[in-house]
Amino acid sequence: MRNRHPAGQRDPYLARTGSALARSPSERLEPTRPRPPRRRNQGARQSRRARPLLRLVNGLLTFTLVVMILAGAAAYVFDGQLDAPGPLQQAKTIAIPKNEGTLEIAARLEREGMVTDRRLFVVAYRWTQLAAMIEGTKPAPLKAGDYSVRQYASVRQLIELLSEGKTLTYRVTIPEGLTSYQIVERLKADPNLSGDIQAVPPEGSLLPETFVVERGMPRQSVVERMQAEAHKLIEKAWAHRKRDLAIKSAEEAVILASIVEKETGRSDERDRVAAVFLNRLRQNMRLQSDPTILYGLSGGKTVWSRPIQKPEITQKTTHNTYQIDGLPPTPICNPGRAALEAVLNPADTKDLYFVADGAGGHVFAETLKDHNANVQKWRATEKELRGKTVSPTANAGSGAPAAKARSVVRTVPTAKTPPDPSAEPATPEAKQKR
């Protein structure tokens, strides 16, 4: 009973040694046994196994960080070279031919003194291509054309210039009043254009204006552009026309505008000249326009500056408005914007006649009587002008050439009455070419 302990209490010996109960008193007297070593858990063993992998990952991260730092430093230096001023000391124009590759372009830039090293340009361009692909955009190729390179242009600026195709542009100016054949010949003679023109466009289908083109632009493309611009202009002008005109279609408007274009070059009287022809159409009077005589004889190859001979007035052609009623079948030239708008928005007058005033303009009249008086004044002026032209001393010291007369609409009251030679002699008038 001595070895019994109350319930719930542990033997102090057992608490100290943590051993099982002694089997005998002598065993109680033995020294305390050391606690057996604890077993390492499974997590510790896995941690030891993972240490080489951690060291590898740590090394890779360190290496990557070093590489990134070096790459950033290199990129900073490289970026500075791209933006550094180039060797070009004066602005210069360079022509990049078609189908020339990057290496050839870089060599050309080096020869022209625009880059110090062609290899830097090539590497820089490849770098921009790679950056574009990383961003998910399509790399822009280097484009052919004429370029104006600014002074000290950097490599980056050269790449942007050639990639965006900021080529030099040229102006192609087509004056109003030329025939389609004459416009085609003018385009063929332009050295900044290329290629052939398939066919001469229909008369009146081209808009004469100044067009900005790139060097080497196909001539056929210029023609198509002029046709498209003319179509848009006609549609817009026809939609804003005055009502109750004596013309019934946009095609007729172009025909009459071509006649107005050749009759006067003055912007302040186009709408009044147009009103004369529209009033004549409304009263079934022949138009009697001199330029239609020339076009009827020579077509698109008309020499507008030559005088009209008396027999040519009575020579019947498809376009001679002294011999045909109404409008000719086609335009006689390609009218400009102002002439077309004048026909569709004419002056509010009752004029039926006009005659040249000898100073580049015209005198208008509503009646035949007033017109005949104006004709007599014109004949006196014409005689004076001829005298000045014939006499070598007439203009001595003046420094001004003799004025040229404009075309004359002759005085035929109705479409059925032929011209009266006694009332209006067919004196050749000097035409002014526009």
pLDDT in tens, 15-28: 555 555 556 666 66
Is the pLDDT at 353 greater than 80, yes or no? yes
Residue in 352, 422, 425, 353 with CA at minimum distance from that of residue 382: 425
Pick the CATH number of 70-164 from 3.40.640.10, 3.30.1490.190, 3.30.70.100, 3.30.1490.480: 3.30.1490.480
Residue-level pLDDT at 383: 83
Is the pLDDT at 407 greater than 90, yes or no? no
Residue-level pLDDT at 21: 56
Give buried/exposed letters for 222-259 (b at 16+ CB in 10 A, else e): bbebbeebbeebbeebbeebeeebbbeebebbbbbbbb
Following CA atoms 292, 424, 308, 286 in sequence, which dihedral angle do they give, to the nearest 10 degrees? 10
How many residues does the structure list for the chain?
434
214-226 average pLDDT score: 92
Residue-level pLDDT at 364: 93
Quick: pLDDT tens for 252-294.
Answer: 999 999 999 999 988 899 999 999 999 999 999 999 999 999 9
Instruction: Work out the percent of the chain whose per-residue pLDDT is above 70.
Output: 75
Question: Alpha helix locations (H) across 9-41?
Answer: 12-17, 25-28
Is the pLDDT at 429 greater than 50, yes or no? no
What's the CA gap between 314 and 332, in Å, rounded?
18
Give buried/exposed letters for 156-177 (b at 16+ CB in 10 A, else e): bbbbebbbeeebeebebebbbb
User: Mean pLDDT, the chain, as a whole number?
Assistant: 81
Is the pLDDT at 216 greater than 90, yes or no? no
Quick: pLDDT tens for 50-87.
Answer: 577 777 777 788 878 777 776 666 665 656 678 889 89
Residue in 22, 153, 180 with CA at minimum distance from that of residue 85: 153
**Angstrom distances, CA of residue 376 to CA of 180, 358, 383, 429:** 37, 12, 11, 14
What's the CA gap between 335 and 175, in Å, rounded?
9
Instruction: Work out the percent of the chain whose per-residue pLDDT is above 90.
Output: 49
Listed in order, the ranges of the chain carrying CATH 3.30.1490.480 are 70-164
What's the CA gap between 124 and 139, in Å, rounded?
13
